Structure 1
């Protein structure tokens, strides 16, 4: 039997190329908008070549690359525009809190000229806390024959952890007499340092205290943790009941992007397992149990495929309770931006677990695209490739995109808007509370793509073996006439 060499070479090339064709078919075209799972119209800001666009949740829940590699912005000609990826700047918010402080009177002899050089000692007298002067010799300044009077007041601020912004005094003042208040701070009730001062004046008996200086004492964001405050006012007839301290703390807040998840199938009350159809890192999960007055300690675990062990992402207590007619639910469970494809929520075995699948809301850290609006509109944001193999290197450095770039300059650019209501979405829908993410069952067995690839590889190996056997047989037949 003679076999045509050209036919053999063609068959050999086909066998070797078969696995590559399978991989090429799986690697979709990153330059074709139709290859993406979602396409969202983008409305540009007028007269601005450089703009920024907040990546909506509809795109985040379909990305197949943790680094956002399968995210593109196309013009009307289907050409990707130059772009860079950036975080969203945090907004600074100031949180103030009022703390009521009780004034404990400082008692001393009527002839005491001042408190300098004297330490204090706190005593309990008939259920009332008072502060005595201590001369250091073991004897009180209050003698048996010397009457005592109020020399000032002590405020306990040891439990105040936030910086102190200002303080307002709750005091009765004498009429028509300016009163100077001095505020000092100490850790040991012995060594004091000045903190603030003001002058208050009450014109009439029926009038509240008016301020000659400032009715609110500025405390310059002082750290009062583990400290005491001492307030003195000289010889004026003042009754100080307490003070209102205002603490202030500035926090950098970044509004997260949320997506509602469809309720996973609950097969066991203490275990809920589901797969995520995206690779975008998840910042937090808002898990709310079904029912009323439910509290469940949980663990959240994650992995990328069934061949990996489960890794602990977070531990928390989730609850839904009604107090005084008002429903309270637990806050988000922080996951520190974990990118996993499967999650498992384990309820503490000492509890009944979940009677029904809890409500789950996914939270993502916000991201924005900085882009050059090159070409003609309309523009389209595309996200989610079946394979992101060909989607590497889409983002430019910020300094290459913005001439003369300065830090955080991108946050001053005009904002383009993604029209998610007109999004062309595959495998999902948009809702009032955000896009609905399908809760897929976890992977079981070997993935279909892997089975197909192995099948093609085995078929190719078999074809190569048959061709090698045919070539060997042909060679032997050709050599026989010469023997």
Structure 2
């Protein structure tokens, strides 16, 4: 039986014209504070037109735009106020560490005194298992035959990598005799440059430390890598056992914003997949294995939907080790500001993997709003619009918001405060972790389901038309 072409065309049209499920949610009115996922009261600084506000984790974990477009600040009249987005400046952190260096005696001819060290090079010798420093006068026979005494001390500072701020001597001083100490540095034990000097005086024999003088020598952040230090003190009867050097390192750090996350379900020991309900770029993941003495090499991958292939974000080793009552855990796994909707953590197949799902915390780079406190208060910070489109960004250039703007001027503005205790979350406040544990989707993608649905509708339409034609053919026969 031949089916008329017009029936086939009608069947295909019926299948393709079937209504498709909506894949996008209509964007709500960006000027309505009630449309946002979270609203936080803001207390501005009185009588300050321009202010700044640090963005909290409660807002960052609900943004649906990687560029913070769905972020607004409303006044009491429901009007969005002019604002600009800015990064948070780094803070200088200084780390100090004490390094103890032993002193090696410098031997020279009797009666040479401190002046005998000037213009002479040194050589290091091993004598009966001990290291001593000998003056190199160029007259080895005469020097070795003459009586020798300790003229100074040598410190080996070649392994110091950080600048040295100060030095404290560990020395025994004679009673009632001022002693002048001179500290010099050299790379080759021939050419010396002065670093510091001090005069110490011990008045009482019962006291081991100096009574007068500054025992701490300021070295003015000297770079002593690959250097030797020479300490001389004239002809006084002094014993220098060593010195303590205080190294100092200044680093620029930016305090990140951290958000707790509920422990996701572990599908198997070597794979953990979870979804992120926001689009805010993630700076790092703090992954802490559960248990004791656990070490797992991992890979972190990410994607935005199931149609995409997994992309490698980072490789690292996470651990939790405990010994002698002290526990050590691995640092954050840097993701470089990745904006992904799904994350997969893969454990190395050569290891047992995770016995239980690890604890996970999200870290974000800090950001701040600079705004004009216009209109009546109080003010409200709103974040997070539903739907993939979110909202159009409302940020102004900093030069347009701040008259006569200069670089980093926003960091000098007064800082408004947030009242997190009065946070208003759509759907009710969530107790516990800020980010819920949502399972990642490894099933059939939504797009594939839609296409299969369309195909199935077309097949059913064709089957229906064929059945109708068969009935009509039987009646005709």
Give the TM-score band, short-chain normalised.
0.7 to 0.9
Offset, 1:60:
0.4
Higher mean C-alpha displacement, 256-265 vs 323-332: 323-332
SS at match of 2:66: coil
1:265 maps to 2:265: yes
Could you tell me how far apart the structure 2 residues matched to 1:439 and 1:257 are? Answer: 21
Residue of structure 1 equivalent to 2:136 = 134
Could you tell me how far apart the structure 2 residues matched to 1:450 and 1:94 are? Answer: 57
Offset, 1:410:
1.6
Residue of structure 2 equivalent to 1:82 = 82
Q: Is the Cα–Cα contact under 8 Å of residues 159 and 225 in structure 2 kept in the other structure? A: yes
Q: Is the Cα–Cα contact under 8 Å of residues 283 and 335 in structure 2 kept in the other structure? A: yes
Offset, 1:147:
1.6
Residue of structure 1 equivalent to 2:443 = 444
Offset, 1:430:
5.1
Residue of structure 2 equivalent to 1:386 = 386
1:332 maps to 2:332: yes
Offset, 1:160:
1.0
Could you tell me how far apart the structure 1 residues matched to 2:23 and 2:297 are? Answer: 44
Aligned residues: 438
Offset, 1:332:
1.5
Offset, 1:55:
0.7
Residue of structure 2 equivalent to 1:297 = 297
**What per-residue deviation string (whole Å, max 9, x for no partner) do you get for residues 206-225 of structure 1?**
22443755321111101111
**What per-residue deviation string (whole Å, max 9, x for no partner) do you get for residues 184-205 of structure 1?**
1111222211111111111121
Residue of structure 1 equivalent to 2:120 = 118
Could you tell me how far apart the structure 1 residues matched to 2:218 and 2:404 are? Answer: 42
Write out aligned runs for 1:193-272 (5 A): 193-210=193-210, 213-272=213-272
Offset, 1:41:
1.8
Could you tell me how far apart the structure 2 residues matched to 1:429 and 1:109 are? Answer: 83
Distance 1:253 1:344, change over 3 A: same
Could you tell me how far apart the structure 2 residues matched to 1:443 and 1:278 are? Answer: 19
- Structure 1 length normalisation: TM-score? 0.83
Q: Is the Cα–Cα contact under 8 Å of residues 83 and 401 in structure 1 kept in the other structure? A: yes
Offset, 1:120:
1.8
SS at match of 2:308: coil
Could you tell me how far apart the structure 1 residues matched to 2:28 and 2:318 are? Answer: 41
Q: Which runs of 5+ in 2 are unaligned?
A: 1-15, 459-477
Higher mean C-alpha displacement, 204-213 vs 43-52: 204-213
Q: Is the Cα–Cα contact under 8 Å of residues 58 and 430 in structure 1 kept in the other structure? A: no
1:399 maps to 2:375: no
Q: Is the Cα–Cα contact under 8 Å of residues 53 and 369 in structure 1 kept in the other structure? A: yes
Offset, 1:369:
0.8
Could you tell me how far apart the structure 1 residues matched to 2:307 and 2:385 are? Answer: 24
Could you tell me how far apart the structure 2 residues matched to 1:441 and 1:322 are? Answer: 32
- Structure 2 length normalisation: TM-score? 0.84
Q: Is the Cα–Cα contact under 8 Å of residues 277 and 440 in structure 1 kept in the other structure? A: no
**What per-residue deviation string (whole Å, max 9, x for no partner) do you get for residues 59-81 of structure 1?**
10111111111111112222111
Q: Which runs of 5+ in 1 are unaligned?
A: 1-14, 460-483
Write out aligned runs for 1:22-33 (5 A): 26-33=26-33
Distance 1:150 1:309, change over 3 A: farther
Distance 1:450 1:133, change over 3 A: farther
Distance 1:351 1:275, change over 3 A: same
